[in-house]
Amino acid sequence: MTQVTMTVNGKSVSGTVEGRTLLSEFLREGLRLTGTHVGCDTSQCGACVVHVNGNAVKSCTMLAAEAEGAEVRTIEGMADADGTLSTIQQAFQDHHGLQCGFCTPGMVMSAAALLSENPKPTEAEIRAYLEGNICRCTGYHNIVKAIMAASGQEASAVAAE
């Protein structure tokens, strides 16, 4: 058992973890931040994506101990303090970019990372970037549309209808 301390959504937190405890487990079980989801055990679905020091990371592939001292942001930290949705979250609602909502936290965190690297991505760039995030519900159409809209681009450029 080791003690870890990190900043999660702006708050300093610490806890005792086993060497093998994954960051995803620490967030979900240790901190009860259950917005981060676990959809696979081969690090391929992206439901668990969080930001660690500003980078999108699959939290199921990182040990909690490796996040010692890091700045971690999860889906719970995306909205403004007063509850107002961020531009990306709002775009997902406006463009119906989610159905069951299970992939959504990872999608939003990946989309946020994409837009900070590339503020005006093309549709092809969005689709390529989301390669590590599986959604079984939406067929991706409205996710792509939402990210285009969040980047300030005409969403209907994607939408065929």
Given the rule CB under 8 A, which of 51-59, 65-73, 113-121, 124-132 is the region that contacts another protein? 124-132
Any idea which residue has 């065929």 for tokens?
160
How far apart are alpha carbons 117 and 7 in whole angstroms?
Answer: 22
- Residue 68's binding partner out of another protein, ligand FES, none, with CB under 5 to 8 Å set by partner kind: none
Question: Are 51 and 7 in contact, with CB atoms under 8 Å apart?
Answer: no
Other beta carbons within 10 Å of 32: 8
Residue 45 CB, shortest distance to ligand FES, in Å, is 3
Residues 6+ apart with CB under 8 A from 71: 6, 7, 51, 52, 53, 54
Nearer to another protein, 18 or 69 (CB): 18
Binding site for another protein (CB under 8 A): 18, 20, 33-42, 44-45, 47, 74-76, 78-79, 83, 85, 89, 92-94, 96, 98-105, 108, 123-124, 126-128, 130-131, 133-145, 158-161
